[in-house]
A and B are shown apart, each in its own frame.
Chain A
Amino acid sequence: MAAPESGDGNNGAARMVTLISSDNTRFEVEAAAASLSQTLQLTILDGGGGGGDGIPLPNVDSATLSKVLEYCIKHAPAAANGGAPNATAVDRAELERFDNEFVNIDQSVLYSLIMAAHNLEIEGLQSLVAKKVADMIKGKSPMEIRRTLGFPDPTPEEQAEMNAHMLEYGWAYE
């Protein structure tokens, strides 16, 4: 996808857009980075977000938004080349390293990120975070998963229910 600034009148410097988080913090980023979000892309192509009026994102708080933008800025150059990054192996390794560190965060932030990536429709980020959560689950028993994900300990009732369930789904547990 060509960066949107190439199409409009603002030749020269990269076009900037302003995003406003739910707690009214303003973020100014390059349009190319923000356009990683399918949702924002439409608005930006429409000419929104420039100048004084920013694009309000009432579903995303500032902590999450700054994290999302960190991802977008890092991935924007690669994405600008039509999905086939004109990158060297070094660049790709660097992106991979960045991604690994990027998701090395607290669970609650991770979940906020999933929601934000979903709302903003950032494909790469959605997969990245979903995969991270899956990795937290992978290879663990249901009880371990409960502990990892912070479920409260089951009450005796729930425990009985779980046992009954496992009996019913024997084909998946045996």
Chain B
Amino acid sequence: MAGGVRRPRWLGRLHREESGDGGRRLRRRWRRSDLVPPLSMAARWRPGRPDLVAPFSMAAHWRPGGQIWSPPPCNAAATGRPCWRPDGDGASSLVAGRRQGVLAGGRAAAASSLRGGVAARTGLDVGSRARVVVTAVIRDYNNIFSNVATELVSADETRLHEGFSSFDPAPALRRRFPFQLVQCPEPGRVGLWNFQGAAAAATVSARRPAGAKSAPASFALASLEPARMEAASKRVRGSGGSSGDRLSALTDDLLGRILSFLPSRQSVQTSVLSKRWTDLWRSVPAINLDVQDFRVRDDDHYQRWLKMEDFTTNLLMRHRVARLDAFRLHIIGFYEVESRDFHRWIRRAIEYRPSVLEVKLPDCSSEYQLPNLRACRLKVLHLHGVSLDHAFADHLRSECPVLQELVTSWCYNDFGSIQSDSLKKLTVDGNSLVEASISVLHCHYPPVNEAVLLGSVFSVTSLETRGFSAMVVPFVGPVQFPTLENLRTLILDGCNLNDNFQLLRRCLRSSPDLEKLTIQLCWVFFSQFTATLVQFSLLVVLY
């Protein structure tokens, strides 16, 4: 089969690299320009084109414990998965199970590799399917054939086929050659595993020219993530073994995650650490800006602002992520600000559709209004010194369906009510909230959070609570229980009053202006009922 295979054009860039001395030379010659397939491998593969490498079908057949792979009986029609069918001469050809080929097969592969116990990533979404598929497979390769690595460096295909279970991967090899090459069951096809990253994936197709027994194999390389592979090869070429190197060896995603906990200024500064870090900051999924991170000599506020402005403009210009997880802007207590600048930044940040948005402005700039949050995926919104008009609450309800936490302080609140099905934490500072209706009926909500909720609406004149549990009171404590000074109407609906009416009593005691109390469908233990009934009626009479 090997002789008759038509080599795909996109695999062909490295044909000229007759790699007589093995991997070392091969590695030296890899350049980014060599590593660019027009599409991902998996996306290119179609049933009926067995000449294109379709490694994902491997995972479907791998079983833990098996050192040497042997093709299972091919029954593509029944299983709906692609599988390998042994040909007469020991080679295999790929039989497609379904018409939609790749993605279906890939999905099956990922799932079955999970069942085989391999930690493969799932959670396939449309954009990343191809990558996920290959990742899963390559991990399988790594596990099964981890000891073939040394073989390919010699580029002797015969040895590679015969002896693939007899070699330990040598640490020295990792430094010399950053990728582990592993064998496919089909002669001439070799999988490639990047030591560093779980996500990097590629295949090498190694084929000996027909009839030339001792001629070195030629290599064709296709990569899904060429940039990362190149970076990895650089990484390994650097000083091996030190712990800084080990950190650098993590994937970009993981390093980005680490950097997202840092102030943006510092995350940019890490770019000087080494080449590996140069561009990492660009893809960090969080922007954390705090005027406190910028210092000037004699603490000239305006100079400081200019510095921050310069930094932020540069950062936003060069940052390249599709979405942000978090955007935090803290210029609290800082008055020498150009409002035009931070308006621009916030507008820009909202375009990134962050799930955490913190905007803390100087108290005096409260005429600033948040731009419209359209179809946002905000989960956490913290605002300080922002003007919130009457439409804000409606806007939140319609445009932020997953908002869980809203904290406002020093805001000019011009809205009357907040309605949300998703909100878990609400803190409204300032005493402008008038009416609150809080339902915790349909969620498992820890009492301590209920207490926080209750405490955060102390300014209201009307409070309706549904489903609050009796255990709120111990958490609030006798001292911290808020004084509900303005409260005139209190509705307890479906609340648990099993605590000898502690909750009720506390509410009543701390709301001197209460005029109307409604209790409906609250839970009371029958045994306690008679005892508390007296207290209860007394209380009602009192107020």
Binding site for B on A (CB under 8 A): 20, 38-40, 42-43, 46, 48-49, 54-60, 81-82, 84-89, 107-108, 111, 114-115, 118-121, 126-127, 130-131, 133-135, 137-139, 142, 145-146, 149-152, 158, 162, 165-166, 169, 171-174
Contacts and interface: CB of A to CB of B under 8 A. Distances in A.
A142 B116 CA distance: 44
Contacts of A126: 257
A159 to B, nearest CB: 11
Interface residues of B, number: 58
B198 A86 contact: no
B444 A114 contact: no
B115 A172 contact: no
B243 A119 contact: no
Contacts, number: 153
Contacts of A171: 310-311, 314
Contact of A130 (B254, B265, B273): B254
Interface stretch (B120-128, B390-398, B525-533): B120-128
B242 A48 contact: no
A27 B424 CA distance: 37
Given A43-B114, A84-B449, A134-B258, A162 B243 contact: no
Given A119-B198, A130-B261, A165-B278, A39 B121 contact: yes
Contacts of A149: 243-244, 247, 273
B505 interface: no
Contacts of A89: 448, 475
A48 B311 CA distance: 52
A4 to B, nearest CB: 15
Interface string B255-298: 00111111101101111111000100000000000000000000
Contact of B243 (A85, A114, A150): A150
B258 A86 contact: no
7 smallest CB-CB distances across A and B, nearest first, come from A134-B261, A151-B244, A150-B243, A58-B143, A172-B268, A56-B117, A149-B244
B59 to A, nearest CB: 13
Contacts of B446: 84-87
B243 A38 contact: no
A145 B258 CA distance: 14
26 contacts: A38-B123, A42-B122, A43-B114, A46-B114, A48-B117, A56-B116, A56-B117, A84-B449, A107-B246, A111-B247, A115-B198, A115-B254, A118-B198, A130-B261, A133-B258, A134-B262, A138-B263, A146-B244, A150-B242, A151-B242, A151-B244, A165-B271, A169-B272, A171-B310, A172-B311, A172-B315
B272 A142 contact: yes
Contacts of B251: 118
Nearest to B239: A152
Contacts of B78: none
Contacts of A82: 444
